Amino acid sequence: MSPRSVELTGGPVWHWRALQRRNVLWQPFRNHIADWLSTWQFRESEIILVGASAGWCLPSSFLARFEKIICIDPDRLAPILFRCVHRRVGARIEWVHADFFESAESILNAHSKAAVLLCNVAGQRRYVVSDIAAVETEMSLIKRRLGKRRWASFHDLLSGKGEMSQHAIVYPARRSHESIIQDFGLSGEWLDHLTSDLLPQEMARRILAWRFDAHRLHLVEAGFGFDGE
């Protein structure tokens, strides 16, 4: 993992920044994630959190719906911080310190009855894997590997500089980057996080504006990859 990806997704610097921003700058985004997750209907008592980190943006009320939580994250600081952030969650928590994208088959086979939530991790793959085509292939393969298992993801779609005119837009299916940027009333240059092909094209999704820091805005796509029988 490159220094840039560690800074964005784990390590002391990342956690310190998340702690500072979680209850102020990130609060509107966290509210939108909680609202979206509250609409997820499932019967599973176990969930795999891919890129669990400390669960900075996850609502404890959602996690409390499960009897067992399998957290996938290579960050060795994550377990301690996760328990601090979600101290009231009584679920059994199992940690797997691995790269899910490289170990997906074995992890999924070991927890065949668990739902899966990708926690804002897919959009960071472009910092981990230098080959853009390889990242795009990974995105397509993940939804095939998950198949008819109940799964969902929220992930960076685009990021850049801009002011929020609104916080969320719901689309009935996949939309082009250009139309999303226009619908949010934004302009300028935007970084493509290569996640356009992660969710099935025909599935509804929400695009959430996340004020990541004082200078950067992320447009996060949230949707259910499979939510039926």
Angle at 193 between CA 172 and CA 110, to 5 degrees: 80
Residue 19 lies in a domain: yes
Question: Roughly what angle, to the nearest 10 degrees, separates helices 132-146 and 100-110?
Answer: 10
Q: Which domain holds residue 199?
A: 3-224
Percent of the chain clearing pLDDT 70 (strictly above): 95
Q: Check residue 84 and give its pLDDT.
A: 95
Mean pLDDT of 1-29: 77
Residue 9 binned pLDDT confidence (cut-offs 50, 70, 90): low
What mean pLDDT value characterizes the chain?
92
What's the confidence (pLDDT) of residue 104? 93
Residue-level pLDDT at 229 = 58
pLDDT of 6 reads 40
Nearest to 196 by CA among 218, 167, 175, 172: 175
Gap between the Cα atoms of 69 and 170, Å rounded: 28
Task: Output the domain CATH number for residue 199.
Answer: 3.40.50.150
Strands 115-119 and 46-50 turn out to be: parallel
- Is 44 contained in some domain? yes
3-class DSSP state for residue 2? coil
229: in domain: no
- What single string gives the DSSP state of each residue in 192-218? E-S-TTTS-TTS-EEEEEEE-SSS-EE
pLDDT value at position 147?
86
Residue 110 lies in a domain: yes
Q: What is the pLDDT of residues 36-72, one digit of tens each?
A: 999 999 899 999 999 999 999 999 999 999 999 999 9
What φ, ψ does residue 69 adopt, rounded to 5°? -125, 125
Alpha-carbon distance 39 to 34, whole Å? 9
In a domain, 135, yes or no: yes
Residue 181 lies in a domain: yes
The residue behind tokens 């002011």 is 163
Query: So what's the pLDDT on residue 8?
Result: 54
Residue 170 φ then ψ, to 5°: -100, 130
- Per-residue pLDDT at 3 exceeds 60: no
pLDDT of residue 130: 85
Task: Judge whether 140 lies within some domain.
Answer: yes
Residue 11 pLDDT level (bands cut at 50, 70, 90): confident
List pLDDT tens digits, range 191-222: 999 999 999 999 999 999 999 999 899 999 99
Nearest C-alpha neighbor of 53 from the set 92, 7, 91, 88: 7
The residues, any chain, with a CB within 8 Å of residue 176's CB and separated by 6 or more, are none
The total number of structural domains that make up the chain: 1
CA distance 131 to 148: 29
Alpha carbons 22 and 57: distance in angstroms, whole number: 7
What's the mean pLDDT in 142-157?
A: 93
Rounded to two decimals, what is the model's pTM? 0.93
